[in-house]
Chains A and B, each alone.
Chain A
Amino acid sequence: MKPETPPRLWPGDIYQSLKKVDVRQVAYVPDAGHTQLIINCQTDADMTAVSLTTEEEGVALLAGAWLGGQRGVLLMQSSGVGNCINMLSVPLHCRMPLLMIVTMRGEWGEFNPWQLPMGQNTERVLRDMGVYIQRADHAEEVGSVTYAAAQLAFSSNCAVAVLLSQRLLGFKDWSK
């Protein structure tokens, strides 16, 4: 008999951190790791969840949100980071805050080799663009890392990416 998987608590911790810093617009391209968080945000009357066709739309959306006085967050998978690179010019040059929460692929126990080129280079290309990185590898630190990243972004007008280790999602054994 398959053992029960304990419920994942960290998506709720992220949601609480987003509430604490008054995030109002939540832009996302879905990822399995963000499923529960997306549902939380969609059902929150004080948040507008915006489903995107591609991640770079979210960078532009949140620039507009900031112009209009609202804070936002962009949720995506590491493969989406590459789609954002030129669009990052807007918040970086304009010194607008940008908070991104990225679930990592292509690292811990990845089964799909097509995920490796972007996953293995996500952190480096973000750093090369001038985005600050805050990494969370353990479930118990996800909430505080997200909160600290949000404070950094919104109080210093800079772009910050929280990278959620693929380890948090657990190892999926595709060999069976």
Chain B
Amino acid sequence: MTTETRKGSLDRRHVMATIQAKRGDALMVTGLGSTTYDAGTADHLNTFCLWGGMGAAAMTGLGLALAQPDRRVLVMTGDGEMLMGMGAFATIGAQQPKNLAIAVIDNEHYSETGMQPTHTQRGVCLASVARGCSFAAAETVYSEEELDAVLPTLFGGSGPVLAVIKVNTQRYPMSIRLRDGARLKDRFRENLLGADVAYD
């Protein structure tokens, strides 16, 4: 058995910008915390940012994907957030939503709480977990070229798919101002469903 020794060198905000540029009409859910903070750099009416409920992102994406089977749904979250809801891999694998993709922005640390290492720095491979849970595709990417190559899978590959994107430990200030969940929910629903349905 070999231990993966490659380290993440990608910049998380560059990754966010690269993925956002290709989103088209995809619906997105971002997880607490840095991924939600990054999402503010490309705020979008089709993005719902979780500011709480750590471990919720992947399952929120599943509920949205089941409700909107004709739309692509992309969950973007961190390694710590994904580890807290790792049972979601099994639930999603059992459900097999074709339109759901998950991108884990993996810096191998809990960056909001003092940079403690997460399990992904200690030999835990989230892509292997997802493959073991019957995901249609699951890979780990380290470089710009690998990131570019995985984008068509994230936005077009038959789901459920996972890309673990290894990034460096660079931290940025919070970019997002809107934190009120009721407002975030209402604007997402109004944009997606129209005001008549959203406030019925």
Contact = CB atoms under 8 A, between A and B. Distances in A.
Interface of A: 24-25, 48, 50-54, 56-70, 72, 86-87, 89-90, 93-96
Interface string B73-114: 000000000000101101100110000000000000000000
Contacts of B67: 24-25, 64-65, 67-70
B87 A86 contact: no
A89 B192 CA distance: 23
Interface of B: 27, 29, 48, 50, 52-68, 85, 87-88, 90-91, 94-95, 181-182, 184-185, 188-189, 192-193, 197
Contact of A90 (B56, B62, B68, B193): B56
A86 B56 CA distance: 10
B91 A65 contact: no
Say what secondary structure dominates the interface of chain A.
helix
Q: Which 8 A-B pairs have the closest CB atoms?
A: A64-B63, A68-B67, A53-B87, A94-B181, A60-B59, A60-B56, A64-B64, A64-B60
A94 B182 contact: yes
A48 B69 CA distance: 12
A90 B31 CA distance: 12
Contacts of B58: 60
A51 B53 contact: no
Nearest to B179: A93
Given A60-B55, A68-B66, 16 more contacts: A25-B67, A51-B94, A57-B59, A60-B53, A60-B58, A60-B59, A60-B85, A61-B60, A63-B63, A64-B63, A67-B60, A68-B67, A89-B52, A93-B181, A93-B182, A96-B185
